[in-house]
A and B are shown apart, each in its own frame.
Chain A
Amino acid sequence: MKAKKQTSISYNFLKWLLFLMLIAFIATTMFLWMFQTRIANNNADNLLRLNITDVKADIKDATNDHMLEIVRNISAELDDIDADTASEEEMSARIAEMLTRYDVTEIDIINSKGIIVACNIESFVGFDMASGEQSKEFLVLLDGEKEMVQEFQAQSYDSSIERKYAGASLTNGGLVQIGYDYAHLQASVDHEVVSLTRNRHVGNNGRVLIVDQDKNIVSNVKGVDRKKLDLEAFGIKPGSVQTGQRVTANVEGIEFYCMAEMAEGYYIISAIPVKEVTITRNMVVIMAVAVEMLIFIALTLLVYLLIKKQIVVSVNRINHSLSEITNGNLDVTMDVRNNLEFDSLSNDINATVDTLKRYIKDAEERIDAELAFAKAIQHSALPSVFPPYPNRKEFEIFATMHTAKEVGGDFYDFYFVDEDNFAFLIADVSGKGIPAAMFMMQSKTIIKSCAESGMSVEEVFTVANEKLCEGNDAGMFVTAWMGILNVKTGKVLFANAGHNPPLVKHADGTYEYLKTRAGFVLAGMEGVRYRKNELELAPGDAIYLYTDGVTEATDLNTELYGEDRLHIVLEKYKDAAPQVICDEVKKDVDAFVGEAPQFDDITMLALKYYRKEDAQ
């Protein structure tokens, strides 16, 4: 399985927070961008439209005023004419004369029924004004209106002809109408239009242009220009100008938003650089993004710190306490209570630890009770009444065992195998505690039963070894030293199964290690044969048996008690009774060890030989 990389809570939180914030950031920025673009475009549209409307109104005013003045004058001149009765010839003559004088394209006289009765264009005569949408508007002049003016547009009689008409009612009924074709219109108002867009700005750098139908610039920011203008560059198709429609045009490398409208045959074009429109939007968006970033960073930091404070610090505190508990300190109480969850967790952990402590205490008490019981059994299996044979004066014996734990693997034993032969031994089972204690009991029993059946000392070990090897799956072994003393002669027959040699006191008061070639440990391997050795004890001699718990007792500096110290203390008490010897050695070992804990069982046996005739 592939190991997943572990990351901290705060890191994960931060990662997701940043991810979500990024999405929110992009979304709001996009929304803001679109929203601001819309606002900017709307503003641009309004600005463009407003300027067009202004200019358009100005153009209209100028042309309307101009034409109304002319038609008013013509109407005044025709106050003697009654359109219903006057002859066409007379009216035509007047029209022809005025046409040149006023320099208009068309003059019509319409009678009170709305029929053209005279016109410089012969074909128009007889046209019923009521029959066309455009011409019908003028009939209001028959109903009391004094004068009116129309926009430049297609006329009713022939829609291919575009004209601007103005009309005025006649004194004697009917009305007179004048018409301008584009050339006449332009000629009559150009001088006024020229100044209309001078110094007119759209925004800071936008302009309004007025262009005539020949695509000459009639008016721009400097006044008259007269240059040809490429209308296509402004996205304008002559003849199909869509009012209020914004187009983007590239003029001499600069992007413009343009809007165009027709007024009295002029193209009014207002344009503003795209840059000017977008700069405000960009500023707004950049400002907003900057503010948003600051807020996001602040929020992220805040959330991160909060998580750290609320969770990470608490988790670390709990982990710290838990590791203390794991290391065995069950007295730690969890006290992380900065929120409900951790409060509950703390309580749970405390409850668990309390339960654990109770179980451990119970188990300890049970084990302690059982071990105390086992200790009592083990100690009662060893001879512990001294002197053991008050009637025997040939020797004196004393032995002690101090176990490192409640029960141990050392043991000593002694008994008479017959009237004169006294067996004594010391042994050390490998390992400590309950397994060693069980093996010790087994070893002790087997050795004793062999010895009491009358075997010689080396036979005892040879047979005991075979028996102990049977079913010794745990691989334990025992070192043992056993001697059989003939209390009459002082002769000791002994065997050593891998045990450290005893010390023997000679008549001159010196102790000496009884170094003989040792046999192999008991229970170690089948088929081992043990040798018999001999020792003569003279009256007053003593023999001291011990386990390595004595010489390997260790002080706080891990220094061993050692054989030399043992030698010295034994010689110091060379004339003492066995019990004194054992007590003094133990005292000396204790003094040496000090505060250091006891690792191994300390067992010793001392025997002092007197011979019967010397005994008191």
Chain B
Amino acid sequence: MTIEKNLNGAELNVKVIGRLDTTTAPQLEAEFKGNINGVEKLVLDFAELEYLSSAGLRVILAAQKVMNKQGEMIIKNVNDTINEIFEVTGFIDILTIE
């Protein structure tokens, strides 16, 4: 998994490429922990996300909780596979997907 991030003022854009699973989720979690302070808009680009496990969902949920307090979080370019996971797990109800 690779992470491309771009901080533009209070807007943080994060693009996740590859697999977000048990082994790679801590990497994204650390990335959020280090950069999320003062961010008012977090945009996650999942265009090239191939796989998402429950560990990855946990990190997304944690980010959503933080952003609920300090702004908004938007997930964009969600493909069918990932969208199905969001639907099955009910995440679709709490996430803002564009």
Contacts and interface: CB of A to CB of B under 8 A. Distances in A.
Interface of A: 428, 430-432, 475-477, 479, 496-501, 518-521, 524-525, 528, 548, 599
A377 to B, nearest CB: 23
A473 to B, nearest CB: 11
Interface in B53-89: 54-55, 57-58, 61-62, 65, 87-89
A528 B58 CA distance: 17
B61 to A, nearest CB: 5
Contact of A520 (B58, B62, B94): B94
Please classify the interface of chain A as helix (H, G, I), strand (E, B), loop, or mixed, using the class held by over half of its residues. loop
A477 B22 contact: no
A429 B38 CA distance: 31
Interface of B: 22, 54-55, 57-58, 61-62, 65, 87-91, 93-94
5 contacts: A428-B54, A475-B61, A479-B54, A496-B90, A501-B88
Contacts of B90: 496-498, 518-521, 524
Contacts of A519: 90, 93
Given A432-B22, A524-B94, A525-B65, A500 B58 contact: no
A408 to B, nearest CB: 13
Please classify the interface of chain B as helix (H, G, I), strand (E, B), loop, or mixed, using the class held by over half of its residues. helix
A498 B89 contact: yes
Contacts of A431: 22, 54-55, 58
Contacts of B65: 475, 525
Given A430-B54, A518-B90, 10 more contacts: A430-B57, A431-B58, A475-B61, A475-B62, A477-B61, A499-B89, A500-B88, A501-B88, A520-B89, A520-B90
B91 A498 contact: yes
Given A520-B94, A524-B61, A525-B65, A479 B89 contact: yes
Closest 5 pairs (CB-CB, A-B): A520-B90, A498-B89, A430-B54, A498-B90, A518-B90
Contacts of B22: 431-432, 599
Contacts of A521: 57, 61, 89-91
Contact of A430 (B55, B87, B93, B94): B55
A551 B61 CA distance: 23
A450 to B, nearest CB: 19
A520 B61 CA distance: 11
Contacts of A499: 88-89
Nearest to B89: A498
A520 B91 contact: yes
A545 to B, nearest CB: 14
A525 B94 contact: yes
Contacts of B91: 498, 520-521
Nearest to A409: B54
Nearest to A524: B61
B57 A520 contact: no
Contacts of A479: 54, 89
Contacts of A548: 54
A598 to B, nearest CB: 13
A518 B94 contact: no
Instruction: Identify which of B58, B62, B87 gathers the most chain A CB atoms within 10 Å of its CB.
Output: B58
Contacts of B87: 518
Nearest to B95: A520
A588 B93 CA distance: 35
A500 B54 CA distance: 12
A524 B65 CA distance: 9
Instruction: Identify which of B55, B87, B93 gathers the most chain A CB atoms within 10 Å of its CB.
Output: B93
Contacts of B54: 428, 430-431, 477, 479, 548
A599 B19 CA distance: 15
Given A499-B88, A525-B65, A477 B58 contact: yes
A518 B62 contact: no
Contacts of B61: 475, 477, 521, 524-525
A306 to B, nearest CB: 48
Contacts of B58: 430-431, 475-477
B60 to A, nearest CB: 10
Contacts of A476: 58
A520 B93 contact: yes
A524 B62 CA distance: 9
Instruction: Identify which of A430, A476, A497 gathers the most chain B CB atoms within 10 Å of its CB.
Output: A430
A144 B89 CA distance: 150
A518 B55 contact: no
A471 to B, nearest CB: 15
